[in-house]
Structure 1
Amino acid sequence: MNNTLFSRSVKSIFFLAFPLMGACSWAGQMAKDSVDGVASKYGSEHFTLIAIIPPNFGFTSKAQYSPKDGESCQVYSPGLGGSVTRQQQKSNKTPAKSTEQTISTEIPLEYQIAGCSMALTRVDYEVNATYGTDAWDHDLEHAGGLAIVDNELNTVESSEQRGLCTWLFQISTAKAKKGEIEKILSCNSADENWQVPESKPARRKPGGVAERSKLPGRTIKLILRQATTERPSIDDTWQKLPEGWKPCLGRGVDDPYGFCRGNTKDFRTFKLNGRECTVYPNCN
């Protein structure tokens, strides 16, 4: 066999074997992950999160876990080609319904996997709400959350949290809905009278900070309500008149911002439910 033919044969064998080597590596990682999955468990200590949400609202709680102090929680990442610190997320998702819902979720305070002990560090709240029948008529909002700490500094005293969610309307510039009304959901923390600060810098998301040692067996309630009124998503783009809201013309119908800039006489039209309108929400 000449050298050229031998060289080609070796190369052929190598390239045939190389995918198998990758498959073995992938299979080994899958086996390791499977073992880790069998060895994983959540702790028995927990607190209960009760969320009360309005009609047409879905809710998701996302419990985040990080390694405890002093823990070595490294795991190999094939994508990164090296070791990374383990993180864990436990999600509980409830889809929207046409009626009000009360959702009860037990949130474990610890998680263990393959010799790694992790502690709950945060629970994020997400809301997915719909405002119409079109496939585009929905929005996902990060509606706050609860941070878990080991000390007592600035922790939540009340076991009840309130959030007022408001639809913010605007004229869409997206290709699929260009010129139509679209809405953005904004949820803010409310006081005992369901009032939200007028000043934007004073507003915050529902939730707060809780001390870890006081959480076992505790129940925290989150109540979300939908505001009865809507408002523009951006200030100085619509004018409030007795008959409703009118969108300012700005520098012309193709102006993507449409700021009023003191011009309270020139307005533009928009589309709502297939109709061309001049006033929102009545579509006069």
Structure 2
Amino acid sequence: MALVVSGCSIVQPKSFTFQAELPENFTIGAVTHYESESGEMCSKRKAFRSKERNAANFVELQLPLTDTAKGCSMVLKKVVLHIEGKWGKRELEMSLQRASITIRDEPSETVRPFPISGPFVFQAQCQWFFRTTGPRRYIVKILECRALDANGVVQKQLAGAALQRDQLAGKTVKMVLTVAEEELPAVGDNWVKFPTGWKRCMGKGLDDLDAFCFGNTIDFKMFKMPDGRDCTVYPNCTE
């Protein structure tokens, strides 16, 4: 008996899955950047944001590898990740930082291969920097997110990864984001650290907004927490 097998072709998926494990009070969105694959003068950007997150702060997005616009075929070149961290309860008490996924067509030393099984995982750590602003010296915070190497050491470059295009279809890329345990001053020589916390240098006086220490580690001034409390030491407020 002869067995007849009909010819068929397996359609390769033209997207990949992006996942993110986020700290509390963090969200993330993605903007995909497409360019022509044949040298035509066309490009496109698309924004993606998860509609919901579960209790574990887990986000998943499906990102297309190709797109078209007015007859122009385009391929994904880059994914810009927009990280938002909230440091207070009010709407503007937040800070933004970017990470990126670069898509390469040719192998290079900066491109890590996908594992045999499971997602491609890259890690990053965000650092909160605090400072005072305005004549009443309110605390505000600035976010900075940098890559971690395989040993968990913070790198100079911002968070992200470089991936090879022909390995991406149907795969999962996962970003694991953590936050440094200790916040740091945003401006050097503004604060002095004590066992109870950081104290704000007096500078040339209460009206000195820059208030560098200038070697004076004896005179300090009060500042305000975002909730309005008058404090002498950060983050504990009182000694």
* TM-score, normalised with respect to structure 1: 0.71
**Structure with the largest fraction of helix:** 1
Q: Any gaps of 5 or more consecutive residues in structure 2?
A: 1-11, 115-119
- The Cα of 1:257 is off from its aligned counterpart by 2.2
Aligned to 1:52: 21
Q: Is the 8 A contact 2:53 2:59 kept in 1?
A: no
Select the structure of larger CA radius of gyration: 1
C-alpha offsets along residues 186-216 of structure 1, whole Å, 9 cap, x if unaligned? 111123443325xxxxx11111211111211
Is 1:131 aligned to residue 87 of structure 2?
A: yes
C-alpha offsets along residues 16-42 of structure 1, whole Å, 9 cap, x if unaligned? xxxxxxxxxxxxxxxxxxxxxxxxxxx
Aligned length: 220
The one of 192, 195, 208 aligned to 1:242: 195
**Whole-Å Cα distance in 2 between the matches of residues 182 and 96 of structure 1?**
28
What is the RMSD computed on CA atoms of the aligned residues?
A: 2.2
Aligned to 1:277: 231
Q: Is the 8 A contact 2:123 2:175 kept in 1?
A: yes
The one of 123, 130, 140 aligned to 1:169: 130
- The Cα of 1:124 is off from its aligned counterpart by 0.8
TM-aligned CA distance change 1:100 to 1:54, over 3 Å: farther
Is 1:120 aligned to residue 120 of structure 2?
A: no
The one of 120, 137, 158 aligned to 1:205: 158
SS in 2 for 1:168: strand
Mapping of 1:13-52 within 5 angstroms? Answer: 44-52=13-21
- The Cα of 1:128 is off from its aligned counterpart by 1.3
- The Cα of 1:46 is off from its aligned counterpart by 1.5
Aligned to 1:23: none
Q: Any gaps of 5 or more consecutive residues in structure 1?
A: 1-42, 74-85, 198-202
Aligned to 2:105: 150
In structure 2, give the amino acid aligned to 1:89: R
- The Cα of 1:270 is off from its aligned counterpart by 0.4
Aligned to 2:96: 140
**Whole-Å Cα distance in 1 between the matches of residues 70 and 127 of structure 2?**
44
SS in 2 for 1:234: coil
**Structure with the largest fraction of strand:** 2
Q: Identical aligned pairs, as a percentage?
A: 33
- The Cα of 1:252 is off from its aligned counterpart by 2.4
SS in 2 for 1:48: strand
Aligned to 2:211: 258
Q: Is the 8 A contact 1:96 1:129 kept in 2?
A: no
In structure 2, give the amino acid aligned to 1:106: Q
**Whole-Å Cα distance in 1 between the matches of residues 171 and 54 of structure 2?**
30
Mapping of 1:58-137 within 5 angstroms? Answer: 58-71=27-40, 73=41, 86-94=42-50, 99-137=55-93
Q: Is the 8 A contact 2:50 2:61 kept in 1?
A: no
**Whole-Å Cα distance in 2 between the matches of residues 248 and 156 of structure 1?**
46
Q: Is the 8 A contact 2:13 2:169 kept in 1?
A: no
In structure 2, give the amino acid aligned to 1:279: V
Q: Is the 8 A contact 1:57 1:97 kept in 2?
A: no
Q: Which moved more, 1:256-265 or 1:103-112?
A: 256-265
- The Cα of 1:44 is off from its aligned counterpart by 4.7
C-alpha offsets along residues 54-104 of structure 1, whole Å, 9 cap, x if unaligned? 121111011111122332x4xxxxxxxxxxxx3211211237979432112
